[in-house]
Structure 1
Amino acid sequence: MDCSLAADRWNDLATRILDGHELTVDEGLAILQSDDDEILDLLAATYRVRRKHFGKRVHLYFLKNAKSGLCPEDCGYCSQSILSEADIPRYALLNEAKLMEGAERAVASQARTYCIVASGRGPSNREVDHIAQTVTKIKEKYGLHICCCLGLLQPEQAETLQKAGVDRINHNLNTSRTFHDTICSTHTYEDRLKTLKAVRNAGMELCSGLIVGMGESEQDLVDVAFELRGLGVHSTPVNFLHSIDGTPLERKWDLNPRYCMKTLCMFRMANPAVELRVSGGREVNLRSMQAMSLYAANSMFVSDYLTTKGQPAEDDFKMVADLGFEIVIGDHDAYQAWKASQNGCQSAPESEVHQHTTCHG
Structure 2
Amino acid sequence: MQDALTTTPLRTDWSMDEIRAIYHKPVLELIVEAAQVHKQYQATGEVQVCTLLSVKTGGCPEDCAYCPQAARYHTDVPVHKLLSNEVVFDAAQKAKDAGSTRFCMGAAWREVRDNRDFDRVLEMVEGVNDMGLEVCCTLGMVNEYQAERLKQAGLYAYNHNLDTSEENYSNIITTRTYDDRLQTIENVRQAGISVCSGGIIGLGETDSDRIAMLHVLSNLPQHPESVPVNALVPVEGTPLAEQPRVSVWEMVRMIATARILMPKTMVRLSAGRQEMSTVEQAMCFLAGANSIFSGDKLLTTPNPGFNDDQAMFELLGLTPRKSFQENSGCGVKVVATEGALAAE
How does the TM-score come out when normalised to structure 2? 0.84
State the secondary structure of the residue aligned to 2:302. Answer: coil
Greater displacement, 71-80 / 247-256: 247-256
Alignment match, 2:81: 92
How many angstroms does 1:52 deviate by? 1.7
- Dislocated runs of 4+, deviation >6 Å: none
CA distance in 2, matches of 1:283, 1:100: 26
How many angstroms does 1:252 deviate by? 0.4
Pairwise mapping of residues 108-187 of structure 1 onto structure 2 (< 5 A)? 108-126=97-115, 127-140=117-130, 142-187=131-176
Alignment match, 2:218: 229
**Conserved 8 A contact 1:242-1:284:** no
How many percent identity over aligned positions?
Answer: 32
More helix by percentage: 1
Letter in 2 for 1:300: I
Q: Deviations over 1:144-196 (max 9, x none)?
A: 32111101112211111111111111111111111111100111111111111
Q: 1:286 to 1:262 in 2, by over 3 A?
A: farther
Alignment match, 1:253: 244
Greater displacement, 289-298 / 98-107: 98-107
Equivalent residue in structure 2 for 1:280, among 263, 267, 271? 271
Q: Deviations over 1:104-151 (max 9, x none)?
A: 2233234322211111202221222111133224434x2332111101
Q: Does 1:194 align with 2:183?
A: yes
CA distance in 1, matches of 2:22, 2:199: 18
Alignment match, 1:5: none
State the secondary structure of the residue aligned to 1:277. Answer: strand
Q: 1:154 to 1:272 in 2, by over 3 A?
A: same
Alignment match, 1:53: 41
How many angstroms does 1:269 deviate by? 1.1
Say which structure, 1 or 2, has more relative contact order (CA 8 Å, 6+ apart).
Answer: 2
Alignment match, 1:243: 234
CA distance in 2, matches of 1:134, 1:279: 23
CA distance in 2, matches of 1:227, 1:103: 33
CA distance in 2, matches of 1:193, 1:315: 36
State the secondary structure of the residue aligned to 1:27. Answer: helix
Alignment match, 1:312: 305
CA distance in 1, matches of 2:273, 2:52: 17
Q: 1:50 to 1:117 in 2, by over 3 A?
A: same
Greater displacement, 110-119 / 268-277: 110-119
Q: 1:130 to 1:285 in 2, by over 3 A?
A: same
CA distance in 2, matches of 1:250, 1:77: 8
CA distance in 2, matches of 1:183, 1:132: 30
Q: 1:111 to 1:303 in 2, by over 3 A?
A: closer
Count of residues in correspondence between the two structures: 313
How many angstroms does 1:285 deviate by? 5.9
CA distance in 2, matches of 1:298, 1:139: 22
Alignment match, 1:303: 295
Question: Which ranges in structure 2 are unaligned for 5 or more consecutive residues?
Answer: 326-344
Over the aligned positions, Cα root-mean-square deviation in angstroms equals: 2.3
Alignment match, 1:263: 254
**Conserved 8 A contact 1:128-1:157:** no
How many angstroms does 1:94 deviate by? 1.1
CA distance in 1, matches of 2:294, 2:100: 12
Q: Deviations over 1:204-241 (max 9, x none)?
A: 11111100111222222122112112332110000011
How many angstroms does 1:24 deviate by? 4.0
Q: 1:106 to 1:259 in 2, by over 3 A?
A: closer
Letter in 2 for 1:194: Q
Q: 1:138 to 1:290 in 2, by over 3 A?
A: closer
Q: Deviations over 1:54-82 (max 9, x none)?
A: 22211110122101111010000111113
Question: Which ranges in structure 1 are unaligned for 5 or more consecutive residues?
Answer: 1-14, 333-361
State the secondary structure of the residue aligned to 1:125. Answer: coil
**Conserved 8 A contact 1:59-1:328:** yes
Q: Deviations over 1:28-57 (max 9, x none)?
A: 2234334xxx32332122111112222221
CA distance in 2, matches of 1:183, 1:287: 31
CA distance in 2, matches of 1:255, 1:312: 21
Q: 1:243 to 1:287 in 2, by over 3 A?
A: farther
Q: 1:285 to 1:255 in 2, by over 3 A?
A: farther
Q: 1:134 to 1:324 in 2, by over 3 A?
A: closer
**Conserved 8 A contact 2:52-2:293:** no
